[in-house]
Amino acid sequence: WINHNDQFLYPNDAYKADTEFQNNCLVYMLFHGKNIIRSIHGTNHWIPFTEQEVNARDNFESHFMQDFIAGKIKAEDKTDMFSETSKPQPEDTKKLEFSYQALRVWVNSSN
User: 62-95, pLDDT tens digit by residue?
Assistant: 999 999 999 888 766 555 555 655 555 555 578 8
Specify the higher pLDDT residue, 13 or 65. 65
Q: How many CB atoms lie within 10 A of CB 53?
A: 11
How confident is the model over 50-56, as a mean pLDDT?
A: 90
Q: How many CB atoms lie within 10 A of CB 10?
A: 15
Reply yes or no on whether the pLDDT at 40 is more than 70.
Answer: yes
The rounded distance, in Å, linking the Cα atoms of 75 and 86 is 12
Specify the higher pLDDT residue, 86 or 46. 46
The rounded distance, in Å, linking the Cα atoms of 87 and 76 is 13
| Dihedral over Cα of 25, 28, 31, 32: its sign | negative
Specify the higher pLDDT residue, 38 or 43. 43
Q: How many CB atoms lie within 10 A of CB 47?
A: 21
